[in-house]
């Protein structure tokens, strides 16, 4: 996957199709960021420092 994009996936779909542990392992392996918001996982496809403002 290229860097710089954002991927959004429903938590329900991740747990059913892949599993949270596998998702987390892949995100870490790529140096990306994983954010959980409501019923969604947001994968920030960039290894740069992440700062949340509010």
Sequential pLDDT tens for the chain (54 residues): 567 899 999 999 999 999 999 999 999 999 999 999 999 999 999 999 999 999
Whether 23 maps to a domain, the answer reads yes
pLDDT at 34: 98
| 51 assigned to some structural domain | no
Q: Quick one: pLDDT at residue 3?
A: 72
Residue 37: name the closest of 16, 17, 11 by CA.
11
pLDDT at position 2 is 63
* pTM for the model: 0.86
Residues 6 or more apart from 4 whose CB is under 8 A from it? 45, 46
pLDDT for the residue numbered 4:
83
Cβ-in-10-Å burial (0-12, 13-18, 19+) of 54 comes to exposed
How many domains are contained in the chain?
A: 1
Host domain of residue 20:
6-44
Asked whether residue 52 is assigned to any structural domain, the reply reads no
């Amino acid at each position: 996957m290229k860097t710089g994009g954002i991927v959004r996936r429903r938590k329900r779909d991740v747990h059913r199709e892949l599993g949270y542990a596998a998702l987390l392992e892949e995100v870490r392996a790529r140096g990306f960021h994983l954010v959980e918001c409501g019923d969604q996982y947001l994968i920030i496809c960039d290894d740069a420092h992440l700062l949340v403002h509010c």
